[in-house]
Homo-oligomer: A and B are copies of this chain.
Amino acid sequence: MSNGSHPDERTSRRAGGRPREDQRPLAGTPQEEIVRAATRLFSSKGFANTTMSEIASNAGLKQSSLYYYFNRKEQILLATFTVARAPLDFIKRTGELPESAGVRLYRLLRFDTYQLCVAASHVNEVEQMAALQPDQFESFWEDRQELHDWVERLVQQGIDAGEFIATDVTLTALFLLSSNEGIQNWYRHQEAHRPGQATFSFPEYEAEAVASHYAETSLRSLLVRPSSLARIRRVALLLGVDDLKPDFQSK
């Protein structure tokens, strides 16, 4: 069997192989090219409505060649999301700052929401696949759990410090992260709708505005003294505004 799981494992791009029919310079490894193409397509047409043939031709390959790199279609989906969801690092760094829980939670929520808005993949699709095939998507669930734990811990710290109202920390963390994703869902639909068809008609919002508004709203529902929100916002934003931009060059 030539196809174990990961071709190119360490020796990346060592030797030839049959030449492609579609000749065209490819930026990066074939895997990257495929994921890039798939990302564009998934994001505009959704996972289910994107065919392997489309992905292939967008990546300069024939359909069946994709299976040399990815054993199943779902693995491409997982790859698009893994690339897109970078924020765990940011979150760990933020979580460890010597600031109040409010400031840290604000930053965390704002960043995560922003990431979701600009991310190429639909969280829902990934989650649904992930729920159906937990083994294939193990890494996804681990990340998700870790993210949850961070948020839960922050909320607990806020309560202990008298900054947040007493509430169920687990439920609150679940709410914060899933509301998040619901908002991404809406935000993406807003993008997908062509101006002509107008099923939904709303003003367009910037990802940053959405992220900030979400962080504020969430914090406001937790704070014992909502008036402290102004200070939190100020401190949080002073800590580095540019952190919002993702490392990943999405189209």
Contacts and interface: CB of A to CB of B under 8 A. Distances in A.
Interface in A98-116: none
Interface stretch (A3-11, A13-21, A41-49, A235-243): A41-49
B145 A214 contact: no
Chain A contact residues (Cβ within 8 angstroms of B): what range? 35 or more
Given A132-B46, A178-B185, A183-B178, A171 B213 contact: yes
Contacts of A46: 128, 132
A251 B171 CA distance: 26
Contact of A185 (B127, B209, B217): B127
Interface stretch (A30-38, A59-67, A79-87, A218-226): A218-226
A68 interface: no
A178 B202 CA distance: 14
Interface in A104-140: 122, 124-125, 127-128, 130-132, 134
Interface of A: 45-46, 48-49, 122, 124-125, 127-128, 130-132, 134, 141, 144-145, 168, 170-172, 174-175, 177-183, 185-186, 189, 192-193, 197, 199-200, 202-203, 205, 209-210, 213-214, 217-218, 220-221, 226
Contact of A132 (B45, B124, B178, B186): B45
A227 to B, nearest CB: 11
Contacts of A130: 199
Contacts of A189: 127, 131
Given A192-B131, A213-B168, A226-B226, A124 B49 contact: no
Contacts of A174: 183, 186, 202
A132 B231 CA distance: 43
Nearest to A137: B199
A178 B77 CA distance: 23
Contact of A182 (B144, B168, B182, B193): B182
Contacts of A131: 189, 192-193, 199
Given A131-B193, A141-B199, A185 B124 contact: yes
Contacts of A141: 199-200
17 contacts: A45-B132, A46-B132, A48-B48, A124-B124, A124-B185, A127-B185, A131-B199, A175-B179, A175-B213, A175-B214, A175-B217, A177-B186, A178-B182, A179-B179, A179-B182, A180-B182, A182-B182
